[in-house]
Structure 1
């Protein structure tokens, strides 16, 4: 039998944060990486555009931030010359209380977050992967895996360009980083698990000179509609200043809510914004900068296994969004870095049993890192889906800053694993004793 030449050591399907981060770290180790993206850059993505310190740590590792500008002096919050907007923490609004919580001072993570539109954020990451040595090919719509006689993935089949010309690429390993749709893992028979949390988010940009510069990301735990007699609306909301005259405004609803799947989410957003001060500019349709767009949030490992038959799942493709806060970018980038580490070790071994042993370390390590935390997050999702519990928690928790600082650390998953404070030790202990999902 004639051997077929591989096009790369690793093929990565999707050049979002997870795919580009994987490609960057693999290329840094000298592997031949083929990064396939169905669209052209720059491209729009539905996202809050807010990056917590977990994501910032990954950006520092990739050399995208650091030194000056967005990572200058601690007090700097203005837009830097290279487009990053820095923030100090999270402002929480609920129960009649407005509380500003700085990101914690930790050895493991920086003490600031960033904001940047996904329109060019993904482009920056992909370019950084190319700079490291990865080959990026856009306009390639991957359709399905190419399987050998044993059912193992040895490449991908795709359509190329506007004429959808059929094309295929081969590699000993494939990384599925194709986002929430997960078409590639679906083609392998990996369906989403219905027993895991999922959310729906909608967002829109508004021109808002009064709100576009902000030292804090803003989270609303209670949404009210003025048109319905100050009625409490389902879900949670956010307002993130973009530093360019605009704000990113959105809301999310979890599947533990009775409103999930039975609500006009776009109308829900405009109902909430109608209750905001007119000077913010969000009550006037003339200030809207683009349409209201929506996306699903796959949470808590809602697609498994994360490695099977030559394919590793990264980021949203593997359902890695944090159930506590809807954050996906940090976990996409972290899982991409981990996948690269595992792949480098695996490809240094002969194909067969030894290589498979190394590859199975990937789902094991993901479970060790996030399994217990996501289990607790699943319980949290079920609790906040009940309005009476959410009202009690907001009313009695918000007036206590120390408790809310604990909640911030828990929800943002920001602790030091060793030598942390009492809050860190409690959170770390909880995630270790919780059964992994």
Structure 2
């Protein structure tokens, strides 16, 4: 039997239509580049995510012309509510010249589709149901295209382009096909989340972060709930994000600096924590659960490098670009997608060969310049908070000081003005500059 393999060509192929891939495709298409955006799933499709967007991600949406109004289905938030050490503190997003002063919440079920639609409206060609299985190499070992299985019948098809952007998420299958293993010396986390119907909490105008998670280690006689003192401290951190549609997204994350990493049933840990929450939140009752508990890895701090090699640029999670400080990945996927597009536009304007390669090598250099020092600080932070005693002391002594916590918010969310700004901005920017880039 002879199998006829169809071939299509473009200037650039983007593998994966998540936030990073769609953002890259949008900016490429806006510059007149012929782009094929290949996505293995069909939209709408679910993704494991906290669904909360900081002002850093909002800035990228504004750049893409996305309508972020409440009329368009977005839930706005004012900032971050932090709970720990017996203290509840509400911290508004900082007022900055470089970023909006509001965050957003939206389910990934249609968030990714919104970005992919923006890319197609800009001129990119989106092909769903296209599962990229590996690269096509020329005689010199350079990537000149991709192989894919298309549709329910998994028909083989080839797509050729001088440059490929790998934005296929945590799995990073394309990078792995090129022999690019993840680095074990970089932080990584695991997160699990679930939706609950919660009329009392669904329209919260703050993202909520829990620095301490507790489980009902003991029960008082008669089945009453144990007191706070009787509850065992769980590893990791938690979140509750109102969705504005009657539901909340609630989840927790554990970092590999914790002794519990890889040794804990995270799904049980989530339900244990939620069993201690107030009854009127309806998160301690399975009857209010909306769907199963789902989990995913959080590849942090550039845990897969190089970000450019042999005609391939890694974007977002495939290059380990999750923020080690707060587990945020969407903003960095979108920023790296925009940066990759800018670099590729300049590279394609040059003849193939040394001149083009010189332009493409700017991509990893610029990523290191933007995030390398900050991610190094994040790696140190992860090691510190992996020690429960250090985390307990930091929570107990840091939470009572709002000024210090506002500094921590700016640091953890990476929200500063690069020039000018206040004293906090200057300190954080100075630290990221002197820290050796990862």
Equivalent runs, 1:6-45 vs 2, <5 Å: 7-45=9-47
Deviation at 1:226, TM superposition (A): 1.7
For 2:38 and 2:278, locate their aligned partners in 1 and report how far apart those are by CA, in whole Å. 44
Match of 2:76 among 68, 86, 91: 86
Deviation at 1:297, TM superposition (A): 0.1
What does residue 196 of structure 1 align with? 186
Q: Deviations over 1:281-324 (max 9, x none)?
A: 00110000000000000000000000000000000000000000
Match of 1:156 among 140, 146, 149: 146
1:356 aligns with 2:357: yes
What does residue 48 of structure 1 align with? 50
Pick closer, same or farther for the CA change 1:285–1:227 going to 2, 3 Å.
farther
Q: TM-score, normalised by structure 2?
A: 0.95
Q: Deviations over 1:345-377 (max 9, x none)?
A: 000000000000000000000000000000000
SS at match of 2:290: coil
Deviation at 1:6, TM superposition (A): 6.3
What does residue 76 of structure 1 align with? none
For 2:363 and 2:197, locate their aligned partners in 1 and report how far apart those are by CA, in whole Å. 43
For 1:259 and 1:233, locate their aligned partners in 2 and report how far apart those are by CA, in whole Å. 9
Q: Deviations over 1:396-435 (max 9, x none)?
A: 0000000000000000000001111000000000000000
What does residue 118 of structure 2 align with? 128
Equivalent runs, 1:186-265 vs 2, <5 Å: 186-228=176-218, 229-265=230-266
Q: Deviations over 1:142-190 (max 9, x none)?
A: 0110000000000000101111111110000000000000000000111
What does residue 60 of structure 2 align with? 58
Deviation at 1:227, TM superposition (A): 4.0
Q: TM-score, normalised by structure 1?
A: 0.96
Q: Deviations over 1:58-108 (max 9, x none)?
A: 000001135xxx2xxxxxxxxx22110000000000000000000000000
SS at match of 2:191: strand
> Do 1:324 and 1:380's aligned partners in 2 also have CA atoms closer than 8 Å?
yes
For 2:242 and 2:354, locate their aligned partners in 1 and report how far apart those are by CA, in whole Å. 51
For 1:419 and 1:252, locate their aligned partners in 2 and report how far apart those are by CA, in whole Å. 34
What does residue 103 of structure 1 align with? 93
Unaligned runs of 5+ in 1: 71-79
For 1:57 and 1:203, locate their aligned partners in 2 and report how far apart those are by CA, in whole Å. 25
For 1:98 and 1:56, locate their aligned partners in 2 and report how far apart those are by CA, in whole Å. 25
For 1:327 and 1:299, locate their aligned partners in 2 and report how far apart those are by CA, in whole Å. 9
RMSD over equivalenced CA pairs, Å: 1.0
SS at match of 2:321: coil
Equivalent runs, 1:64-75 vs 2, <5 Å: 64-65=66-67, 70=69
What does residue 226 of structure 2 align with? none
Pick closer, same or farther for the CA change 1:346–1:5 going to 2, 3 Å.
farther
SS at match of 1:81: helix
What does residue 328 of structure 2 align with? 327
Unaligned runs of 5+ in 2: 1-5, 219-229
> Do 2:7 and 2:158's aligned partners in 1 also have CA atoms closer than 8 Å?
no
For 1:156 and 1:289, locate their aligned partners in 2 and report how far apart those are by CA, in whole Å. 38
Match of 1:118 among 108, 112, 118: 108
For 1:56 and 1:164, locate their aligned partners in 2 and report how far apart those are by CA, in whole Å. 37
Deviation at 1:5, TM superposition (A): 8.7
Q: Deviations over 1:238-283 (max 9, x none)?
A: 0000000000000000000000000000000000000000000001
The list of structure 1 runs, each at least 4 consecutive aligned residues, that deviate by more than 2 angstroms after superposition, is none
> Do 1:227 and 1:271's aligned partners in 2 also have CA atoms closer than 8 Å?
no
What does residue 221 of structure 2 align with? none
For 1:180 and 1:401, locate their aligned partners in 2 and report how far apart those are by CA, in whole Å. 35
> Do 2:8 and 2:158's aligned partners in 1 also have CA atoms closer than 8 Å?
no
Deviation at 1:330, TM superposition (A): 0.1
> Do 1:158 and 1:167's aligned partners in 2 also have CA atoms closer than 8 Å?
yes
What does residue 336 of structure 1 align with? 337
> Do 1:16 and 1:122's aligned partners in 2 also have CA atoms closer than 8 Å?
yes
What does residue 273 of structure 2 align with? 272
What does residue 392 of structure 1 align with? 393
> Do 1:202 and 1:295's aligned partners in 2 also have CA atoms closer than 8 Å?
yes
What is the count of residue pairs matched by the alignment? Answer: 422
Greater alpha carbon shift after TM alignment, 275-284 vs 221-230: 221-230
What does residue 74 of structure 1 align with? none
